[in-house]
């Protein structure tokens, strides 16, 4: 641990680590708790997706696909109750009887410290194809 990383930066990094773990382990309820209720996912190909839309899609994939994300966080900044990071993300998706799909790209996330003190993702700009 670098001595110049604040507790808030470390907490945001932990959200990313928890996201990866909960995704791999298909722990959907815990994954949903890592997001604010007004969460929006912004992608290059689709209209913005809400937290409810993400949850629906995630639950539909449980047991059908193995999803293994890997993140290389490049930068984390915190200002008050808001933080942001960008990362290089690789997502491996394996479905029975199909060739694995590997998606790679950059994402930028905006995080908010909520009333309970937890950091949660509130916006995700995803530039993966």
36: pLDDT strictly greater than 90: yes
Q: 3-state DSSP call for residue 128?
A: coil
Average pLDDT over residues 6-35: 98
Could you tell me the domains of the chain?
A: 7-126 (3.10.450.50)
Please list, residue by residue across 86-98, b when 16 or more beta carbons sit within 10 angstroms of its beta carbon and e when fewer do.
bbebebeeeeeee
Q: pLDDT at position 13, please?
A: 98
116: pLDDT strictly greater than 90: yes
Instruction: Record the tokens describing residue 26, joined without a space.
Output: 């298909």
Share of the chain above pLDDT 70, in %: 97
Sheet holding 65-79, edge to edge: 49-50, 35-43, 119-126, 101-113, 82-95, 65-79
| Sign of the alpha-carbon dihedral angle for 40, 45, 47, 52 | negative
Pick from 1-10, 12-21, 29-38: least confident = 1-10
| Span 77-102, pLDDT tens digits | 999 999 999 999 999 999 988 999 99
Mean residue pLDDT of the chain comes to: 95
User: In angstroms, rounded to a whole number, what is the distance separating the alpha carbons of residues 18 and 2?
Assistant: 20
Label residue 121 exposed, middle or buried (CB < 10 Å: 0-12, 13-18, 19+): buried
């Amino acid at each position: 641990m670098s001595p110049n990383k604040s507790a808030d930066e470390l907490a945001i990094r932990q959200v990313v680590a928890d996201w990866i773990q909960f995704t791999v382990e298909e722990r959907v309820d815990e994954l949903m708790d890592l997001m604010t209720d007004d969460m929006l996912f912004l992608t290059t190909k689709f209209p913005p997706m809400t937290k409810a839309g993400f949850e629906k899609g995630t639950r539909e994939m449980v047991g059908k696909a193995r999803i293994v994300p890997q993140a290389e966080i490049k930068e984390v900044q915190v200002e008050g109750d808001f933080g942001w990071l960008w990362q290089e993300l690789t997502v491996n998706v394996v479905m029975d009887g199909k060739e694995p799909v590997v998606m790679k790209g950059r994402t930028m996330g905006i995080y908010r410290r909520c009333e309970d003190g937890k950091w949660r993702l509130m916006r995700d700009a995803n530039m993966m194809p």
